[in-house]
């Protein structure tokens, strides 16, 4: 089935983890929300709940990784819903040998491309590139038949937003993925909403 650009997707990034706070690369490693992360998840859950009737048609899909599932628990509780499915296609990009290391070390490494376009195509040893991530989320998008609320991660979230908006490599790697907010993706548009500015 071809991807329908008019089919809305609501994207939520998981709340903060201690590894986020410490600037460590998580990737495929399971980490849990810290206190701030739970508060962020509760905040976006409350924000979504103010428009509860808007989401009744939406399927709720979650990355199988712990930090995304913990975030989803707050959201489904606030919406009076259950998770409809765990989806491996929206798990975080794997960073291979760099997982567990600080981002600054990666950025200072000669193996890491200096230009944004190069970073899009760069595949760490044992990991995935942003190009791989875009292919992965497009495979998932092609299977969608209903509006979908997806709780996922930062790097793969950039892939999802970029795929929906038709952005190029340079733009995709620079997309913001705030925590404690949600993003509506529809008809090539990216719109962020949070508890202060709605839309953000």
Domain parsing of the chain, residue ranges = 9-193
* pLDDT single digits (tens) 49-84: 999 999 999 999 999 999 999 999 999 999 999 999
**What pLDDT does residue 196 have?**
58
3-state SS class at 25: coil
Cis omega (within 30 of 0) for bond into 164: no
For the chain, 200 residues long, the average pLDDT of each consecutive 10-residue run is 80 98 98 98 97 95 98 98 98 98 96 96 98 98 97 98 97 97 96 70
pLDDT in the model for residue 195: 66
Catalytic residue among 14, 74, 89, 153: 14
Q: Find out whether 180 and 43 touch, Cβ atoms under 8 Å.
A: yes
Residue 40, both tokens? 């962020």
How far apart CA 25 and CA 45 sit, in angstroms, is 26
92 is catalytic: yes
Give me the catalytic one of 16, 87, 92, 99.
92
The residues facing 86 across adjacent strands are: 62
Residue 4's pLDDT is what? 80
Residue 161 and residue 185 in contact, taking contact as beta carbons nearer than 8 Å? yes
Whether 74 is catalytic is no
User: Which residues, listed in sequence order, are joined to residue 151 by a DSSP beta bridge?
Assistant: 12, 62
CATH code that applies to domain 9-193: 3.40.50.1240
Q: How far is CA 5 from CA 85, 144, 151, in A?
A: 22, 11, 19
For 134-154, the pLDDT digits (tens) are: 999 999 999 999 999 999 999
pLDDT at 1: 44
| Distance, CA of 28 to CA of 97 (rounded, Å) | 11
In this structure, what token pair is assigned to residue 150? 């997806």
């Amino acid at each position: 089935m071809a991807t329908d650009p008019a089919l809305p997707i609501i994207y939520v990034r998981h709340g903060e983890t201690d590894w986020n706070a410490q600037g460590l690369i998580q990737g495929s490693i399971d980490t849990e929300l810290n206190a701030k992360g739970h508060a962020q998840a509760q905040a976006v859950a409350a924000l979504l709940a103010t428009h509860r009737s808007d989401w009744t048609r939406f399927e709720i899909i979650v990355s199988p990784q712990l930090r995304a599932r913990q975030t989803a628990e707050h959201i489904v509780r606030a919406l009076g819903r259950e998770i409809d499915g765990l989806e491996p296609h929206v798990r975080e990009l794997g960073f291979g040998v760099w997982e567990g290391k600080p981002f600054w070390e990666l950025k200072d490494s000669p193996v890491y491309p200096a230009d944004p376009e190069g970073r899009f195509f760069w595949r760490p040893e044992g990991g995935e590139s942003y190009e791989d991530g875009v292919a992965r989320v497009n495979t998932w998008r092609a299977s969608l038949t209903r509006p979908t609320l997806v709780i996922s991660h930062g790097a793969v979230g950039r892939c999802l937003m970029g795929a929906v908006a038709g952005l190029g490599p340079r733009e995709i790697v620079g997309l913001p993925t705030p925590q404690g907010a949600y993003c509506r993706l529809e008809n090539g548009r990216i719109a962020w909403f949070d508890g202060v500015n709605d839309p953000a």
